[in-house]
């Protein structure tokens, strides 16, 4: 009888201890992923569903060329046929990171959509700050009036840089087309033509349901939404920012290659990205 009582007491002690242990663990087990600053997305540790989210993007959903005068443009730098370029030949050449189409008559149309009043443009620059070259970004309205001009500093080494439209510049109006130029003049005497890229950007407005989703979702999902809706500039900027915050993330590296590969700029995908103010 005494032995049975001791066994019962021992069982109760063990049971109480286990219950207390589980109670102390419950807050830890119930704590959501990403609730601490180190796990917050902007921190930026990608969740386990990152690959699933990126898979939804597939490739960029390129919208049709807008009605009216074809945008034309140049996605790659270098000399035009019959010209002698003043800049040293490089591979890759100066490149605008924007989608383009090539028509049957070999006419290139370089253009993209944005939802922002002041978007960012991205360019691969093959020259460095050690070179005494003049670099400029110019933006014109649809009547060819210059609305913004900025001298650009070359990076420490070849790579992708961004140029953002500042608050001091006029905001892009809805449904208006603007032409941009990124020019590198390598000849100080200016006897040879510069190397340049150019294209057209148009600000559009998304429907209210998409806008609401963009306001309430995480950056990775926003990238997917922009890509699915043909908003090139925000898709590229969002993904570039994510890569800048997570330089070793394999899923983001793969999606960057996928995005640039979808517009035939595979040779730029492995180049470093330097984000900063123009």
pTM of this prediction?
0.78
Q: Classify the C-alpha dihedral 36-38-39-43 as positive or negative.
A: positive
93 SS3 class = coil
* Stronger pLDDT, 108 or 19, i.e. the higher one: 108
* Within-domain flag for 34: no
* Within-domain flag for 62: yes
| Domain count of the fold of the chain | 1
* Within-domain flag for 18: no
* Within-domain flag for 155: yes
- Provide the mean pLDDT of the chain: 81
Alpha-carbon dihedral angle through residues 51, 54, 56, 62, given to the nearest 10 degrees: -160
Q: pLDDT, tens digit, for every residue of 215-258?
A: 999 999 999 999 999 999 999 999 999 999 998 999 999 999 99
CB 240 within 8 A of CB 218: no
Closest CA to 180 of 274, 268, 97, 60: 97
* Within-domain flag for 7: no
How many CB atoms are located within 10 Å of the residue 245 CB? 16
* Within-domain flag for 22: no
How many CB atoms are located within 10 Å of the residue 103 CB? 10
Q: Is the pLDDT of residue 86 over 50?
A: yes
What does the alpha-carbon distance between residue 168 and residue 207 come to, in Å, rounded to a whole number? 28
* Within-domain flag for 76: yes
CB 123 within 8 A of CB 160: yes
pLDDT grade for 81, boundaries at 50, 70 and 90: very low
The residue range of the domain holding 184 is 51-274
Q: Is the pLDDT of residue 134 over 90?
A: yes
Closest CA to 114 of 48, 200, 32, 189: 200
What pLDDT sits at residue 43?
39
* Within-domain flag for 80: yes
């Amino acid at each position: 009888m005494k032995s049975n009582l001791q066994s019962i007491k021992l069982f109760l002690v063990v049971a109480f201890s286990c219950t207390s242990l589980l109670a102390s663990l419950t807050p830890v087990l119930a704590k959501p992923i990403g609730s601490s600053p180190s796990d917050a997305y902007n921190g930026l540790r990608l969740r386990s569903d990152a690959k699933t989210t990126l898979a939804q993007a597939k490739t960029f959903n390129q919208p049709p060329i807008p009605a009216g005068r074809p945008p034309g443009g140049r996605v790659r730098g270098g000399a035009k046929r019959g010209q002698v370029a003043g800049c040293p030949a490089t591979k890759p050449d100066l490149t605008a990171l924007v989608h383009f189409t090539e028509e049957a008559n070999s006419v290139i149309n370089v253009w993209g959509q944005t939802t922002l009043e002041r978007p960012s443009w991205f360019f691969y620059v093959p020259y460095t700050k050690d070179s005494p070259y003049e670099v400029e970004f110019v933006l014109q309205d649809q009547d060819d009036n210059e609305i913004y001009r900025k001298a650009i500093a070359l990076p420490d080494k070849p790579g992708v840089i961004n140029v953002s439209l500042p608050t001091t510049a006029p905001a892009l109006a809805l449904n208006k087309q603007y032409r941009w130029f990124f020019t590198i003049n390598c000849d100080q005497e200016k006897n040879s033509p510069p190397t340049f890229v150019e294209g057209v950007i148009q600000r559009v407005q998304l429907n209210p349901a998409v806008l609401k989703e963009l306001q309430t979702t995480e950056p990775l999902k926003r990238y997917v939404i922009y890509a699915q809706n043909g908003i090139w500039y925000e898709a590229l900027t969002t993904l570039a920012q994510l890569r800048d915050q997570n330089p070793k993330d394999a899923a983001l590296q793969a999606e960057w290659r996928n995005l640039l590969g979808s517009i035939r700029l595979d040779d730029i995908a492995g180049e470093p990205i330097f984000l900063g103010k123009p």
